[in-house]
Structures are given as structure tokens and as C-alpha cells.
Structure 1
Amino acid sequence: MNDPATHELARRDKEMIPTLLLRAMLFLVVACLVLVAYARITDRPLEAKFPDQPIVEERMIQIFGEMNGAARVLDGEGRLVADLSPEEGGFIAGMTRALSRERMKVGVVDSAPVRLVRYEDGHLALIDPATGWEAKLIGFGMDNTAAFERLLYTPIQEG
């Protein structure tokens, strides 16, 4: 019991997380809870929300994504817009998984069309009229946004 190695381990364990650091972490947690409680009690508006913008361009599309990243995009009437390889359609196929998850929650079929829109400020978004789900594409990087921007302007492929 009075083993010097045991005492050394106990002393070292006490020093692994300094008391000051633990108190600072506790303070941050309490401060976050106070801020959130204040915002809820005073009914403050959501300030991190994009301001409402008018839609200047829109296209109804159906997106079918594969797990390997390939994607097939049809217009609202079922005509082929793009048949993308796994290298070209990875992000688009990934968005179909997020969309499918939202649709599964409310029991909407995956083949229902979504709206690809451009707002007046130039930002793109996917809007699912069936669930109310919306994804602003600005947060996914320029390359991923450009993939959807191409779909907005790609003509119908004759096949």
C-alpha cells in the first residue's frame, strides 16, 4: 500500500488535467448554457440565418445517387440532364443521401423532384418541396457548388 510507485502514479494522475483548466472548461459550459437560456427566454431571432432573398432562377430536378459516387440527374419531366461518373458526381450523390434521410423521416418517395434555385445574391440551394428541407450550397465549397451550378444550366441530353 505504501509503495512509492503507487504514490508516484497518483501524483502524476493529479497533474494530467490541471485544476485551472478544469475550472475554465466548467466556466465555458456554464456560460454557454446561460447564453442559450437567455436567447430562449427572450425569444431572440436566429441571427445566423441567411436573409430571405428572391429566387431568380430555378430548375426542378430528380437526383439519383449511387454509393460509389455516380449520379443521374433528370429534369422535372424525367428527361436526362446528366449522367455523372463517380469522379464527377460524388458530392451530388452525397446530397441525395442527405435528402433521402429527410424524406424517409416523413415517408416521401426518393424519386420526387427537388428545386435547384439561385437566389438574387448568387447563392444556390436545393429545396425539397415535399419535406421543406433546404440546403444552402455555399457552405460546401466552390467546387461542390459549381457541380450543382452546372446542373442549373445543362441542357436536356438527347438519348
Structure 2
Amino acid sequence: MTRETTLPLATRSTPTSASLPWAVKLLGSMLLLILLAVGFARWQGISDKQVDAATVWQRDLIFVDGPQGSVVVKDAKNQMEIAKFEGEQGFLRSTLRALARERKRQSIGPDAPMQLLGRADGRLTLLDPSTQQRIDLEAFGPSNVAVFAGLQKIGLAPIQIVQISGNDRSSQ
């Protein structure tokens, strides 16, 4: 006599669409919705760029390397020296270096003036009209903005030499 052994049928382990966890379905739906929203916004021309407030004052300035590493600021209209920054002045130097790098790349000399723009909402912008590069100064904090804000009112008075003692390494 032969005896047949019957084995129970093994349960299927292949996933079906009904067996996907609800969290995966929710995540996929959210991702699809985000992609559609971004695509629609780009198609409609929606931008996150903030419109500049009106310019209430403008000063054309020329920045020149001075003796012993100083930075001399001249009024572009009359070529008079209005300020001289001595010491490290890291923010001023790095800001000007960024704009000078683009000028050098486009073979533009350092004599073209830059524009310091005061906006109706109190913000300051340093614009290089030669390259159309701009730096919105308020993004760097009030102490750094103050370095450039002082250049608005300087000019009719004698030359102002700005020295920040904490940043001058030569006095140590």
C-alpha cells in the first residue's frame, strides 16, 4: 500500500497592491501632490523672490586698495576720499572681493563705481552696475550693515578713518 502524504498548500508570499502598508501609499500620494504643486507654480511663473523696495537714496562709490592694506573709499562724483578702513575689516574686504572677482572675470577694471542703495524699507544693497552683481547687506546682520551704512552720510566732513581695535592684528 502506498501512502500519499498530503502537504498543506503554502501561503503565497508575493506582495499585492492591497498588501502595501497605508503609510507607503500616503507618502507616495504626498510626493506626487508636491511634485504637481511645484510644477504648477513653475508653469504659472510664481517666484519666491522678494520685490525690492523703492530706492530712496543712492551713493556712487569707488573702493581702492590703500597703503598698508587699507581700503580707501572715494565718492565717484568728485573723486574725494570720504573714508579709509584700516585693520582687518573682514566683512568689508570679503564683500568687495566677491564683487572684484566678477569684475576680473569679465575684464572690467576697478575704476568703475559701485552703487550703495538705501531702500524705503531700511535695507541696504551694494550693486556693481558693471557686472549687475548685487549683495543685499541686511542678510549679514546689523553690525556688518553698519560698516556700509556709515558711508551714506560721510562726504562733506573731513576724511574719516575707521579703525576697529579688536580686529587690528598689528596692535597685538
Q: TM-score range by the shorter chain?
A: 0.5 to 0.7
Q: Is the 8 A contact 1:70 1:93 kept in 2?
A: no
Q: CA deviation at 1:82?
A: 0.8
Q: Is the 8 A contact 1:69 1:91 kept in 2?
A: no
> Cα distance 1:84–1:132, how it changes in 2: closer, same or farther (>3 A)?
same
Question: Gaps spanning 5+ residues in structure 2: where?
Answer: 1-27, 161-172
Q: Is the 8 A contact 2:102 2:131 kept in 1?
A: yes
1:72-91 aligned within 5 A: 72-76=72-76, 77-87=78-88, 89-91=89-91
Q: CA deviation at 1:74?
A: 0.8
Equivalent position of 2:113 in the other structure: 113
CA distance in 2, matches of 1:35, 1:69: 54
Structure 1 residue matching 2:57: 3-state secondary structure: strand
Q: CA deviation at 1:43?
A: 5.0
Q: CA deviation at 1:69?
A: 6.8
Q: Is the 8 A contact 2:83 2:159 kept in 1?
A: no
Q: Give the % identical residues.
A: 28
Q: CA deviation at 1:136?
A: 0.8
Q: Counterpart amino acid of 2:50? A: F
Q: Counterpart amino acid of 2:127? A: I
Q: CA deviation at 1:37?
A: 6.9
CA distance in 1, matches of 2:94, 2:36: 34
Give the number of the structure whose residues are more often helix, by fraction: 1
> Cα distance 1:90–1:69, how it changes in 2: closer, same or farther (>3 A)?
farther
Q: Is the 8 A contact 1:71 1:90 kept in 2?
A: no
Q: Is the 8 A contact 1:114 1:129 kept in 2?
A: yes
Q: Is the 8 A contact 1:123 1:138 kept in 2?
A: yes
> Cα distance 1:150–1:158, how it changes in 2: closer, same or farther (>3 A)?
closer
Displaced runs of 4 or more, over 6 A = none
Equivalent position of 1:150 in the other structure: 150
1:96 paired to 2:96:
yes
TM-score normalized with structure 2 length: 0.62
TM-score normalized with structure 1 length: 0.67
1:32-111 aligned within 5 A: 34=35, 38=39, 42=43, 44-47=45-48, 49-65=49-65, 70-76=70-76, 77-87=78-88, 89-111=89-111
1:136 paired to 2:136:
yes
Q: Is the 8 A contact 1:65 1:97 kept in 2?
A: no
What is the aligned length? 127
